[in-house]
Amino acid sequence: MRIRKPTVVVLASLLAATLGTVTAPSVALGQPTSAVPGTTAAEPNQVTGLIVSQADGYATVAWTPVPGATDYQIERTPVDASDVATGPAVVVGVWRPNRQINNESPTFADAGFDPGLRFQWRVRARIGTAEQPYSAPVTGTTQQPWGDPAVPGENLRTQWETTKAAQYTSDVNEYAYTAEIDRLSDRVRVVEIGRTVLNRPINMLVIGYPAPPATPAAVAATSPLAVNCNVHGNEPGDREACLVLARKLAFGTDARTIDLLKNTTVLMVLTINGDGRAANTRGNSTGQDLNRDYSLIRQPETAAYVGMLRDYRPVAGYDGHEYGNSTAGDLPMLPPRHQNVAKQIFDESLDMIEGHMYVEGAKDGWWACPYGCQGGSGVGLSEETILRNTLGLKNTVNSLLELRSSGGQTRPDEGNSANNRRRKTYSALWTFSQFLDYHRANLPAIKKARGEAIEFQASNTGRLVFRGSRPIPLHPAPHPGEAGPRDDLPEPEMILDDAPCAYKLTEEQYNGARTDGPNGVGATVAQRIAAHGWKVVKGTDGYYVPLAQPERGLIPLLLDAQGAEEWVDGTRVYPTRTGRHNGPLTISGFACLSDATVNGPVTVRPGAILVATGTTISGPVSAAGATGVFLADSTVRGPVSISGTTGAVSLVDNTISGPVSVAVNNTGNDPALIAGNSVSGPLSCAVNSPAPVNIEVANSVNGPRSGQCASL
Ligand SMILES: [Zn+2]
């Protein structure tokens, strides 16, 4: 049940138009020299109503459709200031009906030219192979690269820009360019999130207005969005777009930019794979494809990224790539489809693509389509090692972005590599700018989806799927592209209907040396679990990783022997108690209550571990000196008191009638999670180390909130 949101889309485009975005063309710079919409054609089947609008690195060519047209050719001619041709006319584009979701208002984003030059455009229809008369011409001067050459900061240019796309920006020049942005703009902080295998810094730009929040937690509170600009070193187009976009966000004074940055924080990791970029290879220096490692985090690059996700908690993301299929659309996109991703995250991600990108793409002329648009049956599947799926399993709305790497039949003037590189990069710039607008307009829906997804995951309900995707039905015709990725439904051996309560790991599994990293040395499972941010409690007989937590969909993929690419074969621990229990219940050792009813109080003894999901307890619940307390999707008809816990505390999506007190829990590096609960009485937290968090999923509390929980 996908929810389409036409009003939101209208809002987004209104916002873009009224705030004068530099990426969404609304006013044609070139005055139409002839033929405005509705004008009668001078010749039969002649295109009329030609309008060309200039935007950042591209020109949107729009016209009135010709009845019976099979496709259209877009012609561009360089002209001087007097509109006299200075070079040959070239067909630069072919518009096909599968390009956009509405065929009544055809548009084509012409790109590949050197920004700032002046051109004439004409469009003609073809009926079958028969070419019809060209439209009257329209001339216009294309937009200069963003930024006044006379204004410090604005005048920065990348190596790619100064060489007119002959060279990509090197690592050295990336660092110099971003250091200058950091120095000259209060809005930007460059943070090194880690190092590559060969010790190159992995930098992230943190951008906010008037300045980015000071700490990762403060950034997380702004519901940030994240762009991963370059993971495959030989796919550099998106990275150049990020560098240009960074300059605009750092120095732009237009109302749209200020509004965007006042309301969130933009995170851009420019080059996670700096070694691969320098060598122009897909993998990192060890040959590892990093986009098959985001769950496993065997490599320092992916570990850095995942640690960043844990600390900054972006609510939405884009992951930039290039794609070699020359017959696909300009911009193949795909949501996280792994079936363990919460449906709310899948739905919102698909809506971002189909409800926003398809709609805006049809206005601006860019051809967004489902990844695999044509002949792509083997791509876009369910590997949780792919960032798109990893992010979804971390409850982040997101999409893959692929820039079609060659021009193909629809962009016949891209034999020139600079033309090709400019089209790719400016199409990425369009996408990332649209992503900012989508986030700005849809943040309440994104946060709602995320909150519900976290609550769903923590409830530990429903089957587990190790590999297998949700199907993506073709968008109603005219769909953008001929096909989507194949269904990729889970095979029976990839399904576990009866989910365990937790996984138990031995000392060796948890802390033992690993050989799956660079040079045969890998981080321990304990370190990788910490990077993902999961809660673990040490019992008397092993380390317990309960599924009653926000990344429930990801945990079994790495800890279960049935996983396709797991770390270890952990022991499944099933619930110890379901059904009805009359009278007081005292927990010692490890206990897991699932869909249970306890008619009496529950006492968790010192050193014990309680995991309860879907359980009703008449209460009270009291834990003093426990090792771990996990309570999710449950009802307590009485007070809850948790103190002196030494391992982990997690209260998610519970309904609690009594007062809730969380005090003097010393849980190491892992703060108590108190999120999405409804509490009828007071909520008080004191002397916990560290202070409890709600990871931006607010609690509903009728009584007063006090101490460390005052703002949860
Ligand atoms: Zn790629």
Mean pLDDT of 535-543: 97
Q: How far is the CA of 232 from the centre of ligand 1 (A)?
A: 5
Mean pLDDT of 57-80: 98
In this predicted structure, the answer to whether residue 28 has a pLDDT above a threshold of 80 is no
Mean pLDDT of the chain: 93
The Cα 123–Cα 480 span in angstroms is: 21
The Cα 616–Cα 89 span in angstroms is: 75
Q: How far is the CA of 142 from the centre of ligand 1 (A)?
A: 30
Residues present in the chain in total: 712
Q: How far is the CA of 434 from the centre of ligand 1 (A)?
A: 20
In this predicted structure, the answer to whether residue 111 has a pLDDT above a threshold of 50 is yes
Q: How far is the CA of 51 from the centre of ligand 1 (A)?
A: 35
Q: How far is the CA of 282 from the centre of ligand 1 (A)?
A: 7
pLDDT tier, 690 (very low <50, low <70, confident <90, very high otherwise): very high
CA 423 to chain centre: 23
Q: How far is the CA of 404 from the centre of ligand 1 (A)?
A: 11
In this predicted structure, the answer to whether residue 511 has a pLDDT above a threshold of 50 is yes
In this predicted structure, the answer to whether residue 466 has a pLDDT above a threshold of 60 is yes
What are the residues whose beta carbon lies below 5 Å from ligand 1 (ion)? 232, 235, 321
In this predicted structure, the answer to whether residue 376 has a pLDDT above a threshold of 90 is no
pLDDT tier, 328 (very low <50, low <70, confident <90, very high otherwise): confident
Q: How far is the CA of 413 from the centre of ligand 1 (A)?
A: 24
Q: How far is the CA of 20 from the centre of ligand 1 (A)?
A: 32
Could you tell me if residue 527 is left (phi over 0), alpha (psi between -120 and 50 degrees) or otherwise beta? alpha
Q: How far is the CA of 321 from the centre of ligand 1 (A)?
A: 4
End-to-end CA distance of the chain: 32
Q: pLDDT for 641-675, tens place per residue? A: 999 999 999 999 999 998 999 999 999 999 999 99
Give the least confident one: 38-47, 87-96, 604-613, 696-705: 38-47
In this predicted structure, the answer to whether residue 231 has a pLDDT above a threshold of 50 is yes
Q: How far is the CA of 629 from the centre of ligand 1 (A)?
A: 41
Q: pLDDT for 213-228, tens place per residue? A: 999 999 999 999 999 9
Q: How far is the CA of 555 from the centre of ligand 1 (A)?
A: 25
Q: Are the C-beta atoms of 242 and 229 separated by less than 8 Å?
A: yes
Q: At what angle do helices 171-184 and 237-251 cross, to 10 degrees?
A: 10
Q: How far is the CA of 598 from the centre of ligand 1 (A)?
A: 52
Residue 227 CB partners (closer than 8 Å, separation 6+): 238, 242, 266, 267, 268, 269, 317, 318, 320, 432, 435
Q: How far is the CA of 112 from the centre of ligand 1 (A)?
A: 21
Residue 583 CB partners (closer than 8 Å, separation 6+): 599, 600
Q: How far is the CA of 291 from the centre of ligand 1 (A)?
A: 8
Strand bridging mode 590-599 / 616-617: parallel
Q: How far is the CA of 322 from the centre of ligand 1 (A)?
A: 5
CB atoms within 10 A of CB 530: 17
The Cα 613–Cα 634 span in angstroms is: 6
Q: Are the C-beta atoms of 502 and 460 separated by less than 8 Å?
A: no
In this predicted structure, the answer to whether residue 65 has a pLDDT above a threshold of 60 is yes
Q: pLDDT for 286-315, tens place per residue? A: 999 999 999 999 999 999 999 999 999 999
As a whole-number percent, the residues of the chain with pLDDT over 90 amount to 90
The model carries a pTM of 0.94
Phi and psi of 30, rounded to 5°? Answer: -75, 120
Q: How far is the CA of 359 from the centre of ligand 1 (A)?
A: 25
pLDDT tier, 39 (very low <50, low <70, confident <90, very high otherwise): low
Strand bridging mode 700-701 / 673-675: unpaired
Could you tell me if residue 268 is left (phi over 0), alpha (psi between -120 and 50 degrees) or otherwise beta? beta
**Rg of the chain in Å (alpha carbons):** 27
Residue 82: Cβ-neighbour burial (10 angstroms; 0-12, 13-18, 19+): exposed
Q: Are the C-beta atoms of 86 and 141 separated by less than 8 Å?
A: no
In this predicted structure, the answer to whether residue 20 has a pLDDT above a threshold of 50 is no
Here the tokens at position 8 are 């939101």
Q: Are the C-beta atoms of 368 and 436 separated by less than 8 Å?
A: no
pLDDT tier, 7 (very low <50, low <70, confident <90, very high otherwise): very low
